[in-house]
Amino acid sequence: MRDLLALPLLWQLLILTVAAWWITRLIVVADFPPTIWLRETIWARWPADDTLYPDDGVVIPDPDLPTEGVVNGRVAVDWDDGLELWRPIRPRAFGNLISCPWCVSPYVTAVVVAVWVLWPSSLWLWLVLAMAGVEALIATRVDR
């Protein structure tokens, strides 16, 4: 463990950077079931600009306005004729945040660095995540 902490600062920062990148990918685009559940749970309450809803689950409260509805009792939606799906009327910033790697990465990086500063021996955890990220990147490129 001491050998890992004896790494030059530049190498430690590289490990933290790759770990933060990997966590950001997990949050924003990974098909990992817990992160899919997290994204869908957030979008159900705070939809992003590009969130779309199928017909099932949409309630039309006013029959005189068949192009306006509600999803989950809280998200107001309107009908998009071009896509034949429902779109949120008022997208939320938090929903957009969770779907944008440029938006999520500063927060993820801040958490990674804060944990590292408060608990320097956590570098082994960040090393494992960084190695997993590099491995996934290599596997993706080799499988093409």
The rounded mean pLDDT for the chain is: 85
Mean pLDDT across 137-141: 88
Note the pLDDT of residue 14: 94
142 has pLDDT over 60: yes
Q: What is the pLDDT of residues 36-63, one digit of tens each?
A: 898 888 887 888 887 777 777 677 777 7
| Residue whose pair of structure tokens reads 């290599």 in the numeric block | 138
pTM, to two decimals: 0.76
Note the pLDDT of residue 1: 52
Q: What would the two tokens of residue 125 be?
A: 């955890």
Note the pLDDT of residue 25: 92
Strands 68-71 and 58-59: antiparallel
Specify which residues 70 forms β-bridges with. 59, 76
The phi, psi pair for 48, rounded to 5°, reads -85, 170
Mean pLDDT across 111-121: 94
Mean pLDDT across 15-31: 93
2 has pLDDT over 70: no
